[in-house]
């Protein structure tokens, strides 16, 4: 194993609470349908939204048509829903900031959508050297290509980076791509595993 020079963070579930439950709840209410009716329809179009194949307007058009409900009134319902579900883990952001200040290259790697990216930039987070969003790259985790894109932007080999995510399938594929990995369970656990990898 080479010396770790970079820490790559997932967004939802690592740096913030998983926004999915709150986001789904918000959108199902907006359409006036039960959560169990809304969720499978939402998910059937989500990958295309995540990879930038469709924009927000088309995403809602598809859902509206499938549910036989009017389009959302908001100019950006996804932005509104994401904002309502956004709960940052302040200690994780402090960890990322501390690592950045110590000279580690820090990156954010997220499967997300353009309205959420816009929200991210509004937060003025300064502790990341590299930002990789699936909707911009056209590919999403756990596809090996998105890990390679992140490493290329960092200008590092896989063994020089550690990737933190809360999903086992994303961690498994990242490990196959050669990255050191940490499956997020708690902030203290992440700090302990980083130390075990020689990260100060």
- pLDDT score for 97: 97
- pLDDT score for 5: 97
Give all domains of the chain, ordered by start, each with its CATH number.
Answer: 6-17+87-196 (3.40.50.1000), 20-85 (1.10.150)
Note down pLDDT in tens along the chain; length 200 residues.
569 999 999 999 999 999 999 999 999 999 999 999 999 999 999 999 999 999 999 999 999 999 999 988 887 899 999 999 999 999 999 999 999 999 999 999 999 999 999 999 999 899 999 999 999 999 999 999 999 999 999 999 999 999 999 999 999 999 999 999 999 999 999 999 999 999 98
Give the span between the Cα atoms of 128 and 8, in whole angstroms. 9
How much is the pTM? Answer: 0.94
Q: What is the CA radius of gyration of the chain?
A: 18
- pLDDT score for 75: 73
- pLDDT score for 124: 87
Give the span between the Cα atoms of 80 and 77, in whole angstroms. 5
- pLDDT score for 1: 54
Strand order in the sheet with 130-133: 130-133, 105-110, 6-9, 161-165, 180-183
């Amino acid at each position: 194993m080479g010396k770790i020079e970079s820490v790559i963070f997932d967004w939802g579930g690592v740096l913030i609470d998983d926004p999915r439950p709150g986001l789904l709840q918000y959108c199902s209410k907006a359409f006036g349908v039960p959560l169990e009716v809304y969720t499978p329809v939402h998910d059937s179009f989500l990958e295309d939204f995540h990879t930038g194949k469709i924009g927000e307007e088309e995403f809602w058009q598809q859902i509206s048509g499938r549910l036989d409900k009017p389009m959302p009134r908001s100019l950006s319902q996804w932005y509104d829903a994401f904002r309502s579900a956004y709960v940052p883990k302040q200690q994780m952001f402090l960890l990322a900031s501390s690592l950045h200040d110590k000279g580690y290259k820090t990156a954010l790697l997220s499967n997300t959508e353009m309205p959420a990216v816009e929200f991210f930039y509004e937060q003025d987070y300064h502790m990341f050297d590299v930002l990789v969003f699936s909707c911009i790259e056209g590919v999403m985790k756990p596809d090996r290509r998105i890990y390679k894109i992140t490493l290329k932007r960092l200008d590092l080999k896989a063994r020089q980076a550690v990737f933190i995510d809360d999903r086992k399938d994303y961690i498994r594929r990242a490990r196959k791509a050669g990255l050191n990995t940490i499956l997020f369970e708690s902030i203290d656990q992440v700090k302990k595993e980083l130390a075990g990898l020689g990260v100060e």
